[in-house]
Structure 1
Amino acid sequence: MEHSRRGEDLPPWQEVATEKREREAQKIPPEWRLPEETLNRARELRNIAGHFLDGILDDKTRHLTNLDASILLERTRDGSLTAMDVTAAFCKRAAFAHQLNRSLIEIGFNNALKRAKWLDEFWKSHHHPSGPLHGLPVTLKDQFHVKGMGTTMGYVGWIDSFEGDKTSEIKYRAESELVRKLESLGAIIIAKTTPVQSLWYWETNNNILGYHQNPRCQNLSSGGSSGGEGGIQALRGSAVGFGTDIGGSVSMPAAFNGVFSIKPSAGRLPTKDMPNSSLGQIHIPTVVGILGPSISTLRHVFQALVSSEPWRTDPSVLPIPWREPKLPSKLSFGFMDFDGVVKPHPPIIRALRMAKAALEKFGHEVIPWKGPPIQEAAAIHSSIIRADGNFDVFLRLALSGEPMIPQLVPFAPTGQPQPPKTAIEVAQYVQNMMNYRARHLAYWQSTASKTATGQPVDAVLLPVATSAGLIPGKPLYHAYITLANLIDHATLVVPVTQADQLVDTFEKDYTPAGELDRRVWEAYDPVAYDGAPATIQVLGGRLEEEKLLAVGQVVVDALREYKSL
C-alpha cells in the first residue's frame, strides 16, 4: 500500500536521495575505496571495463572474478574454492565497479559474506555443496525483495519503505520468490542494481543515483530498464545477474553493455512477490531474464532454477521441467537485417552479416525472414502495456514529491496520467495480439517449405536495437526486440563484435524508408559509437529456452571459429 506525502512530514526528496547514496557508500569497506586519482583517470576514459578495471585489482580478485560461472561452480562444488574467497572477490570488484559507474542502488556485502561463511561450514560438515549454485555471487535489478535490503524500483518515495509504505513491519523482511529459489540453490546475493524510474524506458535514470552511463563506452547509455544490471555485468561485478523484461528491458541493456542474456517466455521463471509497474496487466507479463558473460552461465543458472520446480511455489510458473535439447547436426536460421521501416546502423548490420557468414561457413542454413511486420507488433505491444495510462507512476512520484525524469516527460506531457482505455478497447488490443501471434506462428511453420531439411527454421537472427548502444536522448527503434515480448518467444542476446569508426562508415547516399528511419539514421555517429558492443538477437520459439540456449552456443562457436580463420 502506498501513502501520499503530507505537507512537511517528510524531508525534501533530494535530502532523502542524498542520505540514501551516502548510506550505501558507507557499506563499502575503507580498504576497498578508490583514490580520487583513480576515479579522475576513469572519467577521462571511454572504456572502464576489461583492462582498466582488471588493472586496478589485485591478482587474486582479478583471477577469480574473470572465471566463468561453470568453473566457479565446479570448484566450489569440489571444495577447491571456498564460497568466502569467491564472494569476497566479487564484492570487492562490485565495490570498485560501483565507485566507477554508480551501478549499485542496494549494497549487501556484509550479509553476503556471512552467508558465504555459512555455506563453507555447510560444505565442511557435509562434504558436498548446498545446491547447484553453491557459492555463486549474484546481483539483481532493484525490483526484487531481498531480506535485509530495501527495494526502491527507482523511486525516492520507496526508500526505507515496503513499496511506499513506511509503516510496514515487513519492509526489510520481504522476499521475492526468485530470491528464495536462488538462495535455496546456494547462490549468494551481493547487491541490487539501479533501474530506470518507473521501469518504462530504454535509458536508465532515476533521482537516487542519476543517469547510468555505459561502462564500455561512457558517452553512451547503458540501456534500460535493467541498465544497472547490464553495467555491473560488463564490469564483472557478479558472476551472473537478473533483470526483468516486458519490452526489451533485459535484452537492450545486455546488448548495449556487450553481455549475453536470455529473455524467456512467460511462465518459466518465478515472479511471485516481485513488485512491478502496471500491476494486473497480465496479457503481456513481465518476465525474469538472466544476464551473464557466456551462454554456459545462462544455461547453468536457468537449468538450476527450472530444476528446482518453481511451479510448486509460484502459480504463474508452468510445470515444465528441464528438457535436454537434441539438435540436428545442421541448423536452419531465418535472417532479417532490415524490416523495411528502420534500418539498423552499420555496426549492427555488420554484426548480423558476420553471424550469417559464420553459420553458413560451417554448414548451417540461413534463409531470408519476411514474417508479419514487426512495427505492427510494437504498436500492439504499446497499446496493451500502456492501457492503464500508467497511473501508478504518478502515485509513486507523489510519495516524495520527486519529479519525473526527463526521459519520461514526453509520455506525460500534461504532467498527469493518460486516460485509461476501456475494457472493450483492451479486449480489442488483446484480440489484435492473438491474431498477430497466429500469423507469426503460421509464417514460422511455413519456412519448412524453404529449408533444405523440410523443417521450420530453428531460430531467427535479427537486431536487438538499431544501434550499438545509444547516445543519450537520441531516437531508438525498439520494434526488433519488442517482437519477442508480444509473441511470448524466448530470445537471446549474443555479442559479436565492436563498432569501428573506420569500418562502419556513414552512408551519406542512403535513402531513408521514412521519417523515423531518417531520424534514426541521422543519429548515427561513427566516432561516438566507436568501440561500442555490436550484438545480435537470436529469437527462438515459445517455451523453447533449452533449445534456444543450445542453438545460441552453436552461434557462438561458429563465430569464434570464423573469427580465427
Structure 2
Amino acid sequence: MATPVVAASGSWEQIGAKKREALMSSIPQEWRIPAGLLPPVTQDDVTDWPDTSGWFTPDELAITSLTASELVAKLASGEFKSEDVAKAFCKRAAAAHQLTNCLSETCFDRAIATARARDEHLARTGKLVGPLHGLPISLKDNFNLKGLDATVGFSSHVGDAAKSDSALAELLESAGAVFYVKTNVPTAMMIAETVNNVFGRTLNPKHRQTTSGGSSGGESALIAMRGSPLGVGSDIGGSLRIPAACTGLFTLRPSAGRFPVRHTRSGMPGQEAVQSVNGPMARSLTDIEFYSKSVVDERPWLRDPRCVPLPWQPVELPTKLKIAVMWHDGMVQPTPPVIRALRVTVDKLRDAGHEIVEWDPVDQKEGVVLLGRMFVADGGTAIRKELERTGEPFRPEMLAYETATELGTYDMWRLQSERTEFQNRYLDRWNSAGIDAILCPTIPFNTVKSGSFKHGKLSGWRQGTVTVAVLTLDKVAYTGVFNVLDYSSLSFATGLTVDKNIDTLDSAYEALGDVCKAVNEEYDADMMDGLPISLQLVARRLEEEKVLAMGKLVLEALSSNT
C-alpha cells in the first residue's frame, strides 16, 4: 500500500491528524505489531526488539541484518530474491515506525512491484538492472516520489502529491534501487531534532528518551532499527551528520554539485547562500563509498545542471597523513565521551604513524554566525508564509526564524561577500598548514535528551544600522561551518560507547561561555551510558573520494590493538 492522499483542508491540527491516520492506515494489518508484543513505553532501547520479539521470521531477520553491500552481493548471485528482500524491509520499516515514529510516507505496493520486476529481469536476461539491483533504499521526506507528499514538516504541503520523481530517485531506480518509504523531518528541515506539527517527534531507537537528531532524523532512526539498509538524507547545516552521530551511523556530506538535487523540496526555496546537499547514511563506511561511487558512475550531471561532471576517481593517499585535530570549536567544549573518543583516535593515529597537529578554532565562530545570518536573511518569510497558509504556529525551536529581520538586496550581497572572503581565508589557512584533513567532533555530545533543542538561541548582529537576531547555532557549530565552506565531511562511528564510570566531567573543566556550561551541565552520564560516540573527518571541497579513503585509515587505526 501507499500512504493515501489527504486533502489539506481544515485546521492545521485536523490536517495533521488526518495525515497521521492515513500513514498508519497504509501499513497492512499483517505488519502491525500485535498489542501483546509491543515493548513497554518505558523500554528505552528497542533495537534488539525485532530479534527477541518472535514476530519476525528467521529469514526476515537474516535479510534485514545485512549491510547494503552484503545484500547487493546476495541479490546479484540470485541467493536472495528482490521481492523477499523488499517485503522484509517493508515489514521492519513498519515496525520501526510503530516504535520510533520515523516515517512520513509509504509506497509498499510500488516496492513489491519494482522488486518483482527486478527478479523477472534477472531471470529473463541473466543480467542485473544496475549496481543497486534490488536494493531497498529509504528516502528523506524532501525527495519527490510520484503520488506521495513531500511535506517537509508543513501542514500546508499535505495533499500536494508529487507529479514525478526527483532526479536522484530516477537515477537510483535506474541503477536498480527499490523505494518503499520516506522518512520524517522537522519543520522546514531547519531544526537539529526531528519534530514537526504534522507527524510529531521521532525518537532514537537506541534510547527513546534521546533524540535521533535532525533534520534527517527519520532516516537515522529507521537505519538504526535496521528498517533500511541504506538511506538518503540532506544536509544544510549538519542535517546528515548530526542524526548519524546521534545514532552511531556513517554518513557523507558531499560538496555541492556531486549528487543531484533537482526536483527536491526545500524548506526555504531560493535560499542559496549556503547550499543544501544530499548524501547517504548507513551502518558501514563500505556502504557509504559503494553508494557514492554508484551515483557518480551514473553521470548525474546529465540529469541535473547543477552537478559537476566529475567522474569517481581512485585515490592514492600519502603513507603518512597530516591530520589537524580541533579539540573544540572555541565556543562549546565537547562532553566527556566525545573528548575521550577524540583522545583515543588521536593516540591510535599517532601509533599508526600519522602526523597530528593542532587546529586553532579561531575561525569557527565567524563561520557559524555567517551560517545563521544566511539562514534568517529573509526574516523568516519563506517559513512564515508556508505556516500562514493553514494557520500553523511557529514551533518554539524556530524562534530565530519567527523574530528575524529581513535583509535588503545590498546587505545580502555584502553578506555573501563576507562568506566568500571567509572561504578564501579558511582555504589559505588549510593550504599553509599543509594538512590532509581536520578531525573534530560531529556534535559536542553523543546525543541529548529528546526535546533539548527547545529554542534557537539568539544573539544580536549589527548589519548597517539595523540589529538583527540570528541563530548562534551552538548545537550545529561543529558541522555548520563546513557547510559554509562546502567541504566534504564524514561523520563516522568510532566503535566506542559512553561509559558512565569513565566519562565524567573533569574537575579541571572550564566553560568557554554560558552555552558551553549549559551543554556540559545537561550531560547525563547515566542516560548516555552504552550509547555510541561519533567523530567527524573533514577534507577540502569536492574531495569525497579522499575523505572516504582517509576514513578507512582512521577506522583501521581505531581497530588496531597497539
Pair in the same fold by TM > 0.5: yes
Contact 2:230 / 2:281 at 8 angstroms: preserved in 1? yes
Range with greater deviation from structure 2 (70-79 or 113-122): 70-79
What per-residue deviation string (whole Å, max 9, x for no partner) do you get for residues 251-302 of structure 1? 1011101100000000000001111022222221110121111111111111
TM-score normalised by structure 2 residue count? 0.92
Q: Is 1:464 matched up with 2:442?
A: yes
TM-superposed CA distance for 1:398, in Å, is 2.1
Distance in 1, Cα, partners of 2:516 & 2:9 = 47
Partner of 1:13: 12
| Residue 125 of structure 1: aligned partner | 124
Q: CA RMSD in A?
A: 1.7
Determine if the alignment matches structure 1 residue 405 to structure 2 residue 383.
no
- Partner residue of 1:349 out of 334, 339, 344: 339
Secondary structure at the counterpart of residue 213 of structure 1: coil
Equivalent position of 1:283 in the other structure: 273
**CA distance in structure 2 between the partners assigned to 1:209 and 1:473 by the alignment:** 15
Say whether residues 1:78 and 2:68 are aligned partners: no
- What are the ranges of 5 or more consecutive residues in structure 1 without an aligned counterpart? 1-7, 162-170, 448-455
Q: 1:230 aligns with which of 215, 220, 239?
A: 220
Displacement of 1:9: 9.4
Which AA in structure 2 matches 1:363? G
The amino acid of 1:468's aligned partner reads N
1:446 to 2:432 alignment:
yes
The secondary structure found in structure 2 opposite 1:232 is helix
> Structure 2: how far apart are the matches of 1:68 and 1:9?
38
1:54, 1:401 → 2: CA distance?
Answer: 44
Q: How much does 1:363 deviate?
A: 1.9
- Please name the residue that 2:468 is paired with: none
Distance 2:512 2:242 in 1: 24
- Whole-Å separation in 1 of the counterparts to 2:537 and 2:426: 16
| Corresponding letter in the other structure for 2:214 | G
Q: CA deviation at 1:135?
A: 0.6
Once the two structures are superposed, what CA deviation does each residue of 1:164-221 show, in whole Å capped at 9, x if it has no partner?
Answer: xxxxxxx343211111111111101110000001111111111122112211121111
Residue pairs, 1:16-35, within 5 angstroms: 16-35=15-34
Post-superposition offset of 1:78: 2.2
The separation in 1 between residues aligned to 2:281 and 2:407, in whole angstroms, is: 34
Following TM superposition, where does structure 1 have runs of at least 4 consecutive aligned residues deviating by more than 6 angstroms? none
CA positional deviation for 1:12: 2.4
Q: Give the C-alpha shift of residue 560 in structure 1.
A: 2.0
Number of the residue aligned with 1:150: 149
Give the aligned partner of residue 337 of structure 1: 327
Decide whether the 8 Å contact of 2:442 with 2:491 is kept in 1: yes
Secondary structure of the corresponding residue to residue 218 of structure 1: coil
Partner of 2:3: none
1:80-229 matches, within 5 Å, as 80-161=79-160, 171-229=161-219
Distance 1:559 1:110 in 2: 43
Aligned length: 533
Deviation at 1:90, TM superposition (A): 1.1
* Conserved? CA contact 1:371–1:440, under 8 Å: no
TM-aligned CA deviation for residue 410 of structure 1:
5.2
Q: What residue is the counterpart of 1:478 in the other structure?
A: 476
Tell me if structure 1 keeps the 8 A contact 2:214–2:240.
yes
Structure 1 residues 185 and 214: alpha-carbon distance in aligned structure 2, compared to 1, 3 A threshold? same
- In 1, the alpha carbon distance for the partners of 2:39 and 2:230 equals 28
Determine the C-alpha separation between the residues in 1 that align with 2:46 and 2:351.
Answer: 35
Structure 1 residues 545-564: Cα deviation after superposition (integer angstroms, max 9, x where no partner): 011111111112221224xx
The answer for the alignment partner of 2:497 in structure 1 is 498
1:305 matched to 2:295? The reply is: yes
3-state SS of 2:493 partner: strand
**1:433 equivalent in structure 2:** 419
8 Å Cα contact 2:214-2:242 kept in structure 1:
yes
Distance in structure 2 (CA, Å) of the matches to 1:403 and 1:533: 35
Q: Tell me the residue number matched to 1:264.
A: 254
1:399 Cα offset (Å): 2.4
Is residue 263–residue 491 contact of structure 1 (8 Å, CA) maintained in 2? yes
Give 1:27 shift.
2.0
Tell me the distance in 1 between the aligned counterparts of 2:446 and 2:382. 32
* Percent of aligned pairs sharing the same letter: 34
Asked if the contact 2:8–2:157 (Cα under 8 Å) also holds between the matched residues in 1, the reply is no
CA distance in 2, matches of 1:9, 1:118: 34
* 5+ long unaligned stretches in structure 2: 1-6, 454-473
Looking at structure 2, the residues matched to 353 and 59 of structure 1 have their Cα atoms a distance apart, in angstroms, of 41
CA distance in structure 2 between the partners assigned to 1:175 and 1:404 by the alignment: 29
Change (3 A) 1:9 1:216: closer
Helix, strand or coil: the match of 2:551?
helix
Amino acid at match of 1:388: D
Structure 2 match to 1:393: 383
Are the equivalent residues in 1 in contact too, given 2:101–2:202 (CA < 8 A)? yes
Displacement of 1:372 in angstroms is: 4.0
The CA distance in 1 between the partners of 2:77 and 2:153, in whole Å, is 40
Q: Which amino acid aligns with 2:309?
A: P
Task: Provide TM-score, normalisation by structure 1.
Answer: 0.91
- Name the SS of the counterpart of 2:201 in structure 1: coil
Retained in 1: the 8 A contact 2:203–2:450?
no
Q: Give 1:63's aligned residue.
A: 62
* SS of match in other structure, 2:357: strand
State the partner residue of 1:165: none
In the alignment, the residues of structure 1 paired with residue 486 and residue 543 of structure 2 have an alpha-carbon distance, to the nearest angstrom, of: 11
**Is 2:232–2:278's contact at 8 Å kept on the other side of the alignment?**
yes
Stretch deviating more after TM superposition (201-210 or 394-403): 394-403
Task: Point out the more displaced range, 374-383 or 403-412.
Answer: 403-412
For 1:347 and 1:302, the matched residues in 2 are separated by 30
Report the alpha carbon displacement of residue 484 of structure 1 after superposing the two structures with TM.
Answer: 1.1
Kept in 2, the 8 Å contact 1:489–1:543? The answer is yes
User: CA offset at residue 509 of structure 1?
Assistant: 4.8
Contact between 1:240 and 1:291, CA under 8 Å: does it hold in 2? yes
Q: Distance in 2 between matches of 1:513 and 1:195?
A: 32
SS at match of 1:553: helix
Question: Structure 2 matches for 1:237-248, cutoff 5 A?
Answer: 237-248=227-238
**Residue 419 of structure 1, aligned match among 396, 405, 410:** 405
In the alignment, which residue of structure 1 is the partner of 2:46?
Answer: 48
Paired with 2:224 and 2:64, the residues of 1 have a C-alpha distance of 12
Cα deviation digits, residues 86-140 of structure 1 (max 9, x gap) = 1111111111111111101101112101100011111111101101101110111
CA distance in 1 between partners of 2:268 and 2:33 (Å)? 40
Q: Cα 1:410–1:339, aligned 2, differ >3 Å: closer, same or farther?
A: closer
Question: Residue type matched to 1:53 in 2?
Answer: P
SS of equivalent to 1:241: strand
Instruction: Give the C-alpha shift of residue 54 in structure 1.
Output: 2.5
Task: Report the Cα distance in structure 1 between the residues aligned to 2:52 and 2:545, rounded to whole angstroms.
Answer: 37
User: What SS does the aligned partner of 1:551 have?
Assistant: helix
